[in-house]
């Protein structure tokens, strides 16, 4: 039995209806922005392989870091032990925030980084005798991952319907980014007003507000109006409520600044990072915490310990790659590449807006999103799977979020490849216009 037959016989793929989905595409190798398939085809990776690949596939400085670390220290228990790659990475991440988030807790994926943040917030309250202050506030249209706490904070929908009895309730307020169509100052104001009213009434029972700053990713690349995040921070600080920033997708340059929060000079109490932290080469995540939250766990009472950990916490190879990725940010013009991608997106705005079935075109940093006017908008929009297959046939990995078609390419992408992605999108969205 060859490996493709083994895959079909035994592998269960994520977010896939295995009865009806087409066979997965067999990938042999990848380099820069390209995926090379077993059948000889080449795809341009227009979504950074689920938003993780920063500098390009098999980027040489990251490959070297992995190889060197693997021969030195591949894995060690992180309870009671430490190692140089993890210590160095934590110090560097703290420095990127001017040491206002000086404590770094390691885990291995974005959902878990969110779980850690929620637990840290709530337990810090309990450790300080605020046992009634355990409420969580989250946004409509939010997505924070697929573990139970992360799903509880995420909006209810197709991903969560089967698990409703297992999820905890949260306070839900409107998203500053709205739900469909162009964003406006009104959507931002409605969200701020709802937050203010909620915290005025229930602030003494609320531990934290969790948001995806600047862009709600899986919710359709919905983008916040400028200035709203800063006001969120001011309101939560006034009420002594923690602000949790889920920058699993937006972190490390995706939105045009190194972190989305920093574009508005916002420092959250807890920050969740993953995806691009290793440049997309290995799983790793961190939850960064303020000193105030960390101090709530310092005690002679062992019951105030943060009882959370994972087998691969702070894996040395992953930490070494993350350090190598930060080296790339320091030694190469990474943010210039980000800016160039953003400008290239903007240069195609008029082309997309001319299409009659397009209701909105939006861009933030390397992210371009084109929202379609369909009769079945949302995650289960019938246009999404059809477009996905058309894009693949044209040599592009572009995976719509329902009725929202987006690009989020690796920073290494060449102007020619990016132009090809834009052209493929335009051609196939134009074909939709011509359909009866």
Boundaries of every domain in the chain: 3-58+333-434, 63-331
At residue 433, the pLDDT reads 63
Query: What is the CATH code of the structural domain delimited by 3-58+333-434?
Result: 3.90.1150.10
**CB-count exposure of residue 239 (10 Å: 0-12, 13-18, 19+):** middle
Each of the 436 residues of the chain gets a pLDDT tens digit; together they read 599 999 999 999 999 999 999 999 999 999 999 999 999 999 999 999 999 999 999 999 999 999 999 999 999 999 999 999 999 999 999 999 999 999 999 999 999 999 999 999 999 999 999 999 999 999 999 999 999 999 999 999 888 999 999 999 999 999 999 998 888 899 999 999 999 999 999 999 999 999 999 999 999 999 999 999 999 999 999 999 999 999 999 999 999 999 999 999 999 999 999 999 999 999 999 999 999 999 999 999 999 999 999 999 999 999 999 999 999 999 999 999 999 999 999 999 999 999 999 999 999 999 999 999 887 766 777 788 999 999 999 999 999 999 999 999 999 999 999 999 999 999 999 877 665 5
* pTM attached to this predicted model: 0.97
At residue 405, the pLDDT reads 97
CA 67 to centroid of chain Cα atoms:
27
CATH topology for 63-331 is 3.40.640
Instruction: Please list, in sequence order, all residues whose beta carbon lies within 8 angstroms of the beta carbon of residue 176, skipping any fewer than 6 positions away.
Output: 139, 183, 187, 188, 191, 192, 224, 225, 228, 229, 232
Residue 43 and residue 37: Cα distance in Å, rounded? 8
At residue 22, the pLDDT reads 93
Nearest to 270 by CA among 424, 417, 115, 410: 115
CA 168 to centroid of chain Cα atoms:
22
**What are the C-alpha distances in Å from 327 to residues 30, 39, 64, 124, 320?**
22, 36, 12, 34, 11
């Amino acid at each position: 039995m060859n490996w493709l037959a083994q895959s079909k016989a035994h592998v269960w793929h994520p977010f896939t209806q295995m009865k009806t989905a087409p066979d997965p595409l067999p990938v042999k190798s990848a380099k820069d922005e390209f995926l090379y398939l077993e059948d000889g085809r080449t795809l341009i990776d227009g979504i950074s392989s689920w938003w993780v690949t920063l500098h390009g596939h098999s980027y040489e400085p990251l490959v070297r870091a992995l190889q060197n670390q693997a021969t030195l220290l591949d894995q060690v228990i992180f309870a009671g032990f430490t190692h140089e790659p993890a210590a160095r990475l934590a110090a560097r991440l703290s420095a990127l925030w001017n040491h206002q988030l000086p404590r770094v807790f390691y885990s291995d994926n974005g959902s878990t980084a969110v779980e850690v943040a929620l637990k840290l917030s709530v337990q810090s309250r309990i450790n300080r005798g605020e046992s009634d202050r355990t409420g969580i506030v989250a946004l409509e249209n939010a997505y924070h991952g697929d573990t139970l706490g992360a799903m509880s904070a995420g909006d209810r929908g197709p991903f969560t319907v089967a698990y409703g009895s297992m999820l905890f309730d949260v306070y839900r307020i409107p998203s500053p980014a709205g739900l469909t169509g162009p964003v406006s100052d009104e959507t931002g104001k409605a969200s701020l007003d709802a937050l203010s009213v909620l915290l005025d009434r229930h602030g003494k029972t609320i531990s934290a507000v969790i948001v995806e700053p600047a862009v709600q990713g899986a919710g359709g690349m919905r983008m916040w109006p400028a200035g709203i995040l800063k006001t969120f921070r001011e309101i939560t600080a006034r009420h002594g409520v923690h602000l949790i920033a889920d920058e699993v997708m937006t972190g490390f340059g995706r939105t045009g600044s190194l972190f989305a929060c920093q574009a508005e000079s916002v420092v959250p109490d807890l920050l969740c990072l993953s995806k691009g932290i290793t440049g997309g080469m290995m799983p790793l995540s961190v939850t960064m915490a303020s000193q105030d939250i960390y101090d709530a766990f310092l005690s002679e009472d062992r019951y105030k310990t943060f009882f959370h950990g994972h087998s691969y916490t702070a894996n040395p190879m992953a930490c070494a790659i993350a350090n190598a990725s930060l080296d790339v940010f320091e030694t190469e013009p990474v943010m210039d590449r980000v800016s160039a991608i953003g400008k290239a997106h903007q240069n195609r705005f008029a082309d997309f807006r001319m299409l009659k079935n397009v209701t909105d075109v939006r861009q933030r940093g390397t992210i371009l999103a084109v929202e379609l006017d369909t009769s079945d908008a949302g995650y289960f929009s019938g246009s999404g799977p059809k477009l996905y297959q058309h894009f693949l046939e044209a040599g592009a990995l572009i995976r719509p979020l329902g009725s929202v078609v987006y690009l989020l390419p690796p920073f290494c992408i060449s102007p020619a490849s990016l132009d090809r992605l834009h052209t493929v999108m335009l051609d196939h969205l134009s074909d939709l216009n011509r359909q009866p």
